[in-house]
Amino acid sequence: MTTISIEVDKDLAWSFLQASVDEKRQLNFLLNLRLKELIATPHKPLGIIMDEMGHYAESQGITPEMLASLLNEE
């Protein structure tokens, strides 16, 4: 893996820094997956990308509840 820097708003940065090691691992996983999808298929509809991500996350052991919790955190 290689580290890159991206700009995010202050609240998001603070939330990420406060997350547990396991939560950070899960967030990194989801962000990697999303960036790969965006770069590989720039013209694919967002809904399809999100459905595919959800199916892949489930296959990796991330439950719908875990995913919803990660996505709904403020």
In a domain, 26, yes or no: yes
Q: What percent of the chain has pLDDT over 70?
A: 95
Q: Is 69:61 a contact under the CB 8 Å cutoff?
A: no
In a domain, 65, yes or no: yes
In a domain, 41, yes or no: yes
Whole-structure pTM over 0.75, yes or no? no
Side-chain half-sphere exposure of 62, counting CA atoms within 13 A: 21
Domain that holds residue 58: 21-72
In a domain, 6, yes or no: no
In a domain, 10, yes or no: no
pLDDT tens-place string over residues 37-67? 777 776 778 788 778 877 888 888 888 788 7
